[in-house]
């Protein structure tokens, strides 16, 4: 008879050992019994278990000592080693994950932007994290659309200083299609007409070009998804074969911009006055579509002059653009103050 002792709790479990012929057999027997015993009675203590042998005979004491040593050197050392490796792997994984998360953002850094040699923005900085929706409001001509087009890679809008970074990667010097593949989408304030290219073919090419090279896009899947999104936006199916924006009303063009966004599923989007030209029902439909896109992998800037769209979308932050930069940031209450006092309030300390 031997006794297995949990050295931390002091609990002792008697163990019957039959037919011990050799030390090896004894050790094997004991190990399997320890395992069984641990599973049955010592389940909560399995990790803390440090079994030793107590018995009357010198031989068993010696065997117990030997088992204790071999157990320590084999099972426990190996277990500690694996614990250490697992801890290191988890630690490295957490560091990489945090690093990746901290890099995930649309960052505009101290931007100086000119068009036709006229500086429209200077010292413009903003960071938008995935999952956030920001709103830009500002007087006509302050440079909201210029900023959007510069980020999209329009060659007429020159970044003279600063940087725009998407998920840690600068867009400087990149062509519009490369920037789009980096996850950016711009819904134009004035969508252009493209006679000769149907709406469906245009969107299909846009979706295909964002897939990794050589990835097939099934026509059946594409049209299934396209028709589903058209239904959400209440766009008639007949529009799929119409030339892009050719003869579309203002509201139809804007809804088709949102349709494109829903199909290409960008990570970062700017909607430049997408609400202009929309009737109140269409406005709600577009707002619901944007809200449906809200997730941890999507961020957007909504440029607008009207509070109705923002009431439906409820952005996380509202920025007032003035003097070439963000003059003020806050919540929806900024819109109320704007409606009450006009843009003058941002320079009037009494109204702040």
Ligand X SMILES: Nc1ncnc2c1ncn2[C@@H]1O[C@H](COP(=O)(O)OP(=O)(O)O)[C@@H](O)[C@H]1O
* C-beta closer to ligand X: residue 4 or 142: 142
State the minimum distance, in angstroms, from the CB of residue 232 to ligand X. 28
Nearest to 71 by CA among 35, 100, 41, 112: 35
* C-beta closer to ligand X: residue 29 or 276: 276
By CB under 5 A, how many residues form the interface with Mg ion? 3
Binding-site partner at residue 152 among ligand X, Mg ion, none, CB < 5 to 8 Å by type: none
Residue 140: both structure tokens together: 């006509």
Please report the beta strands in the chain, taking only residues with DSSP state E, as ranges in sequence order. 2-5, 12-15, 53-54, 106-115, 118-128, 133-138, 157-166, 169-170, 184-187, 194-198, 243-244, 268-272, 299-303, 317-322, 325-330
Sign of CA dihedral 234, 238, 243, 246: negative
List the x/- string, 111-130, binding to ligand X by CB under 6 A. Answer: ----xx---x----------
* C-beta closer to ligand X: residue 120 or 271: 120
Query: In the range 88-147, which residues lie near Mg ion by CB under 5 A?
Result: 144-145
State the minimum distance, in angstroms, from the CB of residue 312 to Mg ion. 21
Does the protein bind ligand X through residue 56 (CB under 6 A)? no
Q: Report CA 128 to chain centroid distance, whole Å.
A: 11
Out of 156, 194, 292, 351, the only residue in the binding site for ligand X (CB under 6 A) is 156
Binding-site partner at residue 245 among Mg ion, ligand X, none, CB < 5 to 8 Å by type: none
State the minimum distance, in angstroms, from the CB of residue 305 to ligand X. 9
Q: Report CA 214 to chain centroid distance, whole Å.
A: 25
Does the protein bind ligand X through residue 146 (CB under 6 A)? yes
Report how far residue 25's alpha carbon sits from residue 86's, in angstroms, rounded to the nearest whole number: 33
Out of 145, 182, 260, 274, the only residue in the binding site for ligand X (CB under 6 A) is 145
With beta carbons less than 8 A apart as the criterion, state whether 196 and 250 touch: no
């Amino acid at each position: 008879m031997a006794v297995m002792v949990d050295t931390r709790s002091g609990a002792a479990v008697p163990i019957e050992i039959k037919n011990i012929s050799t030390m090896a057999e004894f050790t094997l027997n004991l190990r399997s019994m320890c395992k069984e015993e641990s599973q049955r009675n010592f389940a909560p203590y399995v990790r803390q278990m440090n079994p030793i042998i107590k018995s009357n005979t010198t031989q068993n004491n010696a065997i117990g000592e030997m088992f204790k040593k071999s157990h320590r050197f084999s099972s426990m050392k190996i277990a500690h080693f694996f614990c250490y490796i697992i801890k290191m792997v988890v630690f490295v994984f957490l560091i990489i994950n945090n690093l990746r998360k901290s890099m995930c953002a649309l960052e505009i850094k101290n931007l100086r932007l000119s068009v036709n040699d006229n500086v429209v923005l200077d010292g413009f900085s903003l960071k938008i994290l995935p999952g956030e929706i920001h709103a830009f409001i500002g007087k006509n001509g302050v440079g909201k659309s210029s900023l959007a087009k510069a980020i999209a890679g329009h060659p007429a809008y020159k970044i003279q200083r600063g940087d725009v970074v998407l998920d840690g990667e600068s867009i400087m010097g990149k062509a519009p299609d490369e920037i789009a593949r980096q996850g950016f989408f711009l819904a134009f304030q004035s969508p252009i007409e493209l006679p000769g290219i149907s709406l469906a073919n245009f969107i299909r090419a846009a979706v295909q070009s964002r897939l990794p090279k050589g990835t097939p896009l099934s026509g059946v899947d594409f049209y299934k998804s396209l028709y589903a999104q058209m239904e959400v936006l209440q766009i008639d199916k007949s529009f799929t074969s119409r030339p892009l924006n050719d003869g579309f009303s203002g509201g139809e063009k804007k809804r088709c911009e949102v349709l494109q966004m829903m199909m290409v599923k960008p990570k970062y989007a700017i909607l430049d006055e997408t609400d202009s030209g929309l009737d109140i029902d269409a406005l709600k439909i577009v707002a619901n579509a944007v809200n449906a896109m809200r997730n941890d992998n999507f961020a957007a800037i909504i440029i607008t002059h009207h509070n109705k769209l923002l009431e439906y979308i409820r952005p996380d932050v509202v920025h007032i653009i003035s003097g070439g930069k963000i003059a003020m940031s806050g919540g929806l209450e900024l819109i109320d103050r704007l409606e009450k006092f006009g843009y003058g309030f941002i320079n009037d300390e009494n109204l702040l």
